[in-house]
Amino acid sequence: MTAQKIPAMQAAVKIMVDEGVDTAFGCPGAAILPLYKAMEIVGGIEHLTVRHEEGATHMADGWARTNGKVGVAIATSGPGGTNFITGLYTALADSIPMICISGQAVSTKLHQEAFQAVDIVEIAKPVTKWAVQIKEAAQIPWAFREAFRIAQEGRPGPVLIDIPVDIAQKEIWYDAAIDTKLPIKVVEPYLPRVEAALDLLLDADKPLILAGGGVILSNASEELRELVEYLRVPFQVTLMGKGTIEDDHELNFGTTGVQTSQKYANASFLESDFVLAVGARFGDRHTGANVDVYKGDRKFVHVDIEPGQLGRVIEPDLGIVSDAKLFLQALLAVAKKRKAKAEVASWIERCQELKRTLVRREDFDEIPVKAPRVYKEINEAFDEDTYFVTAIGLYQIWGGQHQKAYKPRHYQVCGQAGPLGWEVPAAIGVKKALDGMGQKDAEVVGIVGDYGFQYMVEELAVAAQYNVPYVLIMLNNEYLGLIRQASIGYDMNYQVDIHYDETGADNVKLMEAYGCSGRRVVDPADIRSAIEWARKEAVSTSRPVLVEIMIEREANAPHGPNIDAVKEFEPAPGA
């Protein structure tokens, strides 16, 4: 043994480096300075100083979504830790592995309501997989290894480690040469249930495979592709599964749901008689409020890595606990062993007919700009290797309906929590992850709304300081668009208008205030040239660049309370 007595936080940094962390995002403060000193001495981790701790969590989130590793965010005590909560909730809701490290007041003073002493562990428990406060410095290596294991094992998610400053200042015996990662258990499917799932699929006349975010998280896109192409069975994706396989694949029939959906997807789903859902939670924006309409008379097989998800929303005819990749591999192996195929050529033809005919118009030339036209330009301007980030609001709905995705982890969306402002910091995390993956020239595009943009706009300063270039495309309708649309049901139009002069905040000037640049567009004919300018400007300046597109103020995104309740979906041709 070659154990040495070293500052405890140096051991923590060595462990993070060994676990694959090359970038961390945080905000230094008195209670967390021992960790920052350790990072300075040990090296191996680039640190970006954020302007708000929530921004750190969203950066770590975007970083983790892109490379599949565990993101790291750092904050000091008190409000530093409490500012983590929105990001922790976002990561938990979307199953993103992340570790948030908070400094804490001196351990002997916690019961005395010391300055910035707050029980962050109890606050964070509902939005983490594990929240722990270090009581003894000797626990630090174990706690960090356990945090990385928990964040990744089973359904991924966030962990919080709280470290009192006096504990962080101590030294411990540590030998990096004989320290290693904790084993992560693999959840394998029970073969008889895999066989039963195949039986149900083959018995169906109109089967669909539904790929959720779990397929992307388990890196199972190629397994899904091989399965559907071998069986010749149609598939769909959820919002979180968007990009699992390219939208243009001959067997990809879109996204079903009440908001981020295609008309043809809803129509084919409602005609199906069997659904094999893999790594999907049956979220309410997918199923609609009336789950009975969604379930109908069709049979369901539900595959999820987390046992508690089975039967949570709907009772499946068959539930299987498994990692998505391992299940898809097992199902394909069984199908090949049997030489089984889904004999559903007429059903595929029907789905293809719906995909050809139930499309939304995008070729609008009017001023003010209609939102679908923006996505038409986006689809044509950027190639399949572009990485997109988008958050919540009408533009998320429009994106789900119109924007094409081609590859896993290239369409990043905060699906369940929906925090405003996520895109500006998340795009920084995505870009830094790509740098670490040797893809420094990869393009990152954030699609934002005018209101959400201002929530985390201060993180533009981080991108400017550390030379993180990306393009922001803003759809600006000068309203709280989705809320204004929802308020129609209350026969009101109250407190949803956010412009205080002709156009409201001058977002181009906001960009310039942070050392970035931007351009405003009012004519759809100018969108493409503005995007091309922004792409070149981002590269030449190594900073974010904004294309602000003024869209019609009364724009609504078509959706409804149930997947069969939207008039534009009815009737399906040939139904």
CATH number for the domain including 523?
3.40.50.970
Q: Are 348 and 376 within one domain?
A: no
Q: pLDDT by residue (tens digit) across 280-299?
A: 999 888 888 788 888 999 99
Which residue range is the domain that position 471 belongs to?
371-550
> What's the confidence (pLDDT) of residue 562?
45
Helix axes 8-18, 33-42, angle to 10 degrees: 60
Q: Are 420 and 491 within one domain?
A: yes
Q: Are 267 and 347 within one domain?
A: yes
pLDDT band at 559 (very low <50, low <70, confident <90, very high): low
Q: Are 340 and 378 within one domain?
A: no
| Domain-embedded: residue 568 | no
Into how many domains does the chain fold? Answer: 3
pLDDT at 325 over 50: yes
Mean pLDDT of 526-545: 97
Among candidate residues 4, 61, 139, the one with its CA nearest the CA of residue 422:
61
Q: Are 167 and 251 within one domain?
A: no
Helix axes 345-357, 263-271, angle to 10 degrees: 150
Give me the torsion for CA of 370, 372, 373, 376, rounded to 10°. Answer: 170
Last residue of a domain, one of 303, 331, 357: 357
Among candidate residues 238, 292, 234, the one with its CA nearest the CA of residue 261:
238
> What's the confidence (pLDDT) of residue 281?
92
Last residue of a domain, one of 357, 380, 401: 357
pLDDT band at 573 (very low <50, low <70, confident <90, very high): very low
Q: Are 125 and 51 within one domain?
A: yes
Q: Are 502 and 386 within one domain?
A: yes
Q: Are 150 and 199 within one domain?
A: no
Say how far apart CA 148 and CA 212 lie, in whole Å.
24
| Domain-embedded: residue 565 | no
| Domain-embedded: residue 564 | no
| Domain-embedded: residue 454 | yes
Residue count (the chain): 575
Q: Which residue has the tokens 């495979």?
A: 209
Q: Are 379 and 331 within one domain?
A: no
Give me the torsion for CA of 344, 345, 351, 356, rounded to 10°. Answer: 170
Q: pLDDT by residue (tens digit) across 242-274?
A: 999 999 999 999 999 888 888 999 999 999 999
Q: Are 229 and 349 within one domain?
A: yes
| Domain-embedded: residue 212 | yes
CA-to-CA separations, 559 to 256, 401, 420, 442, 502, in angstroms, rounded:
11, 10, 20, 34, 30
| Domain-embedded: residue 40 | yes
| Domain-embedded: residue 563 | no
- pTM for the full predicted model: 0.93
pLDDT at 555 over 80: no
Domain holding 301: CATH number? Answer: 3.40.50.1220
What are the phi and psi torsion angles at 254 (to 5°)?
85, -160
| Domain-embedded: residue 557 | no
Q: Are 294 and 231 within one domain?
A: yes
What are the phi and psi torsion angles at 369 (to 5°)?
-65, 140
pLDDT band at 111 (very low <50, low <70, confident <90, very high): confident
